[in-house]
């Protein structure tokens, strides 16, 4: 296999530092089959051998399902290919001798911890406001004991496939978290189990989203294009309906009347 030489222009920022800067590194003997993160591993081994600080970045499963990794590669969140996470980016998508700009997800509510690692606990705090169903636990209910139309089950599953990676925020020109929050709200809005807390859920989660300092959505749709799970912006329209009904108290009245 033909080996490649890749130049990486990487954002370096020390822990606790307010500012950072770009450093350019050269990695040799990169194979086209290697993943982008393996190329960063190769660079880090070299930096460690040279006694320098390795480049810090997040990754966990490295098979596109956990949502831990996340870099802006060549100006696009999760790299140039659609429907993929950063760990699924392969070096065959780049040219030999190419200089690749690597940046962290940038948003005020995602402060940089070090180099390319950002703090995404803002998402957790939004989830804690209502991204769940309050129900007594116990033995698992029988399958199909609660009838759900197939189309609703499918839409709920599509929304539930969000892995919370934060690429939507990174790609949004306004740094809005609307796609993430809408996926979490939509998922439960399609299912009867999510019914009783519908109105409150939208109000509380969106309230937290705003308090965290995420921007407002301008309907550019860039989020959907970079989303590794292809979450549709129709969820954002649905989220706005949920919010509107919640603000008017519609859902909660309905729940109270046992409808």
Partner 1 sequence: MSTFRSHVWSSVGKKMITGLTGLLLVGFVAVHLLGNLTLFIPDRGHAFNAYAYFLEHAVHGWLILAFEAGLLAVFGFHIVSAVTVAWTDKRKARPVGYALVRNAGGKSRKGLPSTSMIVTGLTLAVFVVLHVKMFKFADHPSVVYDGKEMKDLYAVVVAAFKQPLIAGLYVAVMGMLGFHLRHGFWSAFQSLGWNNDRAIVVLEGLARVVAVLFAAGFLALPLYILFFVDPSVSGGHR
Q: Decide whether 62 or 241 has the Cβ nearer to partner 1.
A: 241
- Under the binding rule (CB under 8 A), the answer on residue 218 touching partner 1 is yes
CA–CA distances in Å: residue 51 to residues 8, 16, 144: 19, 21, 59
Cβ of 258: how many Cβ atoms within 10 Å? 6
Nearest CA to 199 out of 246, 152, 243, 157 is that of 246
* Contact call for residue 160 and partner 1 (CB under 8 A): no
171 lines the binding site for partner 1 (CB under 8 A): yes
Q: How far is the CA of 124 from the CAs of 119, 187, 236, in angstroms?
A: 10, 16, 19
Q: Decide if 184 contacts 124 (C-beta within 8 A).
A: no
Among 44, 129, 187, 232, binds partner 1 (CB under 8 A): 232
Q: Quote the least distance from Cβ 243 to partner 1, whole Å.
A: 5
Q: Which stretch binds partner 1 (CB under 8 A): 113-121, 133-141, 187-195, 212-220?
A: 212-220
Q: Does 207 bind partner 1 (CB under 8 A)?
A: yes
Shortest Å distance, C-beta 150 to partner 1: 16
Between 100 and 119, how does the x/- string for binding to partner 1 read (CB under 8 A)?
-x-x--xxxx----------
Which of 14, 17, 153, 237 contacts partner 1 by CB under 8 A?
Answer: 237
Q: Which of left, alpha, beta for 67 (phi over 0: left; psi -120 to 50: alpha)?
A: left
Backbone angles phi, psi at 175, to 5 degrees: 55, 45
> Among positive and negative, which fits the CA dihedral 161, 163, 169, 170?
negative
The count of residues in the chain is 259
* Number of residues counted as binding partner 1 (CB under 8 A): 54
- Smallest separation (angstroms) from partner 1 to the CB of 224: 5
Q: Tell me the closest approach of the beta carbon of residue 197 to partner 1, in angstroms.
A: 15
| By the rule CB under 8 A, 249 interacts with partner 1 | no
- Closer residue to partner 1 in complex, CB, 46/161: 161
Side-chain-facing half-sphere of 171: CA atoms under 13 Å: 26
> Cβ closer to partner 1: 37 or 223?
223
Q: How many CB atoms lie within 10 A of CB 135?
A: 10
State the angle between helix axes of 198-212 and 178-189 in degrees (0 to 180), rounded to the nearest 10: 170
Chain residues in the site for partner 1 (CB under 8 A): 9, 11, 22, 72, 74-77, 80, 82, 101, 103, 106-109, 171, 173-176, 178, 203-204, 206-207, 209-210, 213-222, 224-226, 230, 232-234, 236-241, 243-244, 247
């Amino acid at each position: 296999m033909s080996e490649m030489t890749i130049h990486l222009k990487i954002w370096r920022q020390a822990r606790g530092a307010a500012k950072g800067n770009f450093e350019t590194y050269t990695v040799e003997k990169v194979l086209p089959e290697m993943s982008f993160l393996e190329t960063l591993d190769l660079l880090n081994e070299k930096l460690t051998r040279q006694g320098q600080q390795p480049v810090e970045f997040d990754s966990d499963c490295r098979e596109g399902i956990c949502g831990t990794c996340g870099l802006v590669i060549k100006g696009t969140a999760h790299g140039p290919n659609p429907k993929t996470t950063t760990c699924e980016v392969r070096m065959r998508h780049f040219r030999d001798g190419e200089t690749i700009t690597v940046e962290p997800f940038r948003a005020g509510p995602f402060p940089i911890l070090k180099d390319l690692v950002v703090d995404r606990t803002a998402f957790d705090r939004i989830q804690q406001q209502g991204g769940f169903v309050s129900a007594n636990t116990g033995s698992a209910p029988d399958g199909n004991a609660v009838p759900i139309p197939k189309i609703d089950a499918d839409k709920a599953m599509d929304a539930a496939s969000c892995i919370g990676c934060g690429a939507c925020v990174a790609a949004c020109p306004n740094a809005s978290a609307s796609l993430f929050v809408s996926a979490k709200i939509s998922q439960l809005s399609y299912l009867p189990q999510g019914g009783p807390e519908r109105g409150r859920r939208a109000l509380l989660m969106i309230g937290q989203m705003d308090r965290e300092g995420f921007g407002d959505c301008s309907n550019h749709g860039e989020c959907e294009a970079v989303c590794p799970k292809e979450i549709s912006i129709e969820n954002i329209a649905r989220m706005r309906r949920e919010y509107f009904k919640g603000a008017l108290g519609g859902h909660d009245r309905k729940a109270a009347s046992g409808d």
